[in-house]
């Protein structure tokens, strides 16, 4: 079983990173960065796959916001308490916001949609999105890679593919749980703020 997974990751690991980044983001890339440190995935390949996945996902959401603002999906996103605040930030600091929204937890999905609705020109958004996606992919990949180095520094060199894979899965799972509860906390705070304003 582990041999099959090893072969699968060797052949399709970067595709998994690409699709995983589109669907989830940080936790997938942290685990991939760790696997890159362990020699299971190519570090530069992980960066490129993450860059491409992040760019693809946010370009698609931007165009959905720009051209399908009446869709049920977009209306559900615009109903979120943070949406009005995000639109205000785009109007006041659009360049800075486009460069930084990936690093602002709780607004990752709604931001590209809001940018599209706000009428930011496609060329400007694409150029800034390329820069931001590259910076995000490099940072998160590096964090996962460094985490692998720290694990080896304190527990010794890891042996066996199964141990490396289990640790990578644990990193992804723990970061996913932490990010989920962080997102829930942000949403609760946004709901309280909206209620106070009403």
The region of weakest confidence among 9-13, 25-29, 144-148, 156-160 is 156-160
* 128-156 residues labelled b (16+ CB within 10 A) or e (exposed): bbeebbbbbbeebbeebbebbeebeeeee
**Residue range 186-194: average pLDDT?**
53
pLDDT for the residue numbered 91: 92
- Tell me which of 13 and 114 has the higher pLDDT: 114
For 25-75, write each residue's pLDDT tens digit: 788 888 888 888 888 889 999 999 999 999 999 999 999 999 998 999 999
Site of tokens 């699709």: 19
Q: What count of other Cβ atoms lies within 10 Å of the Cβ of residue 167?
A: 19
On whether the CB atoms of residues 138 and 1 are closer than 8 A, the answer is no
| 195 pLDDT more than 50 | no
Nearest residue to 13 via CA among 161, 139, 170, 193: 161
Using alpha carbons, list the distances in angstroms from residue 9 to 3, 41, 126. Answer: 10, 8, 31
**Which DSSP state fits 101?**
G
| Claim: this prediction has a pTM higher than 0.75 | yes
pLDDT for the residue numbered 147: 80
Each domain of the chain, given as residue ranges in start order, spans 2-197
- Tell me which of 56 and 185 has the higher pLDDT: 56
Site of tokens 């996103």: 77
Q: By percentage, how much of the chain surpasses pLDDT 70?
A: 73
Angle between helices 43-67 and 26-37 (to 10 degrees): 170
The region of weakest confidence among 95-104, 109-118, 141-150 is 141-150
pLDDT for the residue numbered 164: 60
pLDDT for the residue numbered 185: 56
């Amino acid at each position: 079983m582990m041999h099959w997974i090893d072969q699968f990751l060797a052949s399709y690991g970067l595709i998994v990173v690409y699709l995983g980044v589109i669907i989830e983001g940080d936790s997938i890339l942290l685990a991939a960065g760790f696997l890159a440190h362990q020699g299971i995935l190519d570090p530069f390949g992980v960066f490129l796959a993450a860059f491409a996945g992040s760019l693809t996902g946010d370009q698609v959401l931007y165009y959905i916001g720009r051209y399908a603002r009446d869709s049920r999906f977009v209306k559900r996103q615009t109903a979120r308490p943070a949406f009005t605040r995000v639109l205000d930030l785009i109007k006041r600091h659009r360049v800075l916001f486009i460069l930084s929204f990936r690093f602002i937890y709780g607004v990752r999905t709604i931001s590209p949609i809001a940018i599209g609705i706000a009428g930011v020109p496609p060329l400007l958004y694409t150029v800034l999105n390329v820069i931001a996606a590259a910076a995000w992919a490099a940072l998160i990949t590096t964090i996962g890679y460094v985490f692998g180095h720290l694990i080896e520094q304190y527990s010794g060199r890891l042996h066996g593919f199964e141990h490396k894979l289990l640790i990578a899965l644990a990193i992804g799972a723990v970061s996913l749980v932490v990010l989920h509860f962080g997102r829930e906390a942000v949403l609760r705070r946004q709901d309280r703020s909206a209620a106070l304003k009403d």
